[in-house]
Amino acid sequence: MASFKQKTLRFLYPILRKMAKFGKNGTVLNNEQKATPKEPFYAQQVTLNNGKNLDFSTFSGKKILIVNTASNCGYTGQYAELQSLHEKLGDKLAIVAFPSNDFREQEKADDKEIASFCQLNYGVTFPLAEKGVVLKTTEQQQPVFQWLTNSEANGWCDHAPDWNFGKYVIDKKGMLTHYFGPSVSPLDKDFLEALEK
């Protein structure tokens, strides 16, 4: 069940997104030089919030969207948009959410509570990773985010998430093509166009 704060943030989400679109949370980066990874993306694995391992090689031939998430953030309403995207493009696009408490402690819940919150409030059916660290400041950073935020691994991008709901797009060949900041909706025209490329 959503708390009063979560319900309020959900209501305010469209306003917060528009207000932040032109700041750092509206950052958009793309791999214009078509740099190829120095380390293969498909070697990455993650432990899901149910304890099972997910090997990213199972998504070979699909585009992949990696998103760092939190339940008590002004952008939490994007869970509904991500679910909509999953339902429309699930055969072409794999979405994996990475809950994290890195930004102002907006994800204090444990994995079981996070899964329940996402399912009850947003009907989320795409995979949720085990809660972990997405920022580069500690050795505990999730291995997938070590790859996403290190140009020595992915070929070009050193950019860590600006806030909750930073979005990284991997193409069908395992190349990192884009980073979209939190205020860019997964249903925005520019975002959808990037998925089509």
Active site residues: 73
Chain Cα centroid distance, residue 10: 18
Q: How far apart, in whole angstroms, are the C-alpha atoms of residue 143 and residue 175?
A: 16
Sorted by sequence, the CB contacts under 8 Å of residue 139 that are 6+ apart come out as none
Give the CA-trace dihedral at 136, 193, 35, 170, to 10 degrees: 50
Helices (H), ranges, 40-188: 78-89, 111-122, 143-148, 151-154
H or E element that contains 188: none
Cα angle 69, 23, 95; round to 5: 25
Instruction: Extract the tokens encoding 101.
Output: 């408490």
Nearest Cα to Cα of residue 69 among 128, 138, 12: 128
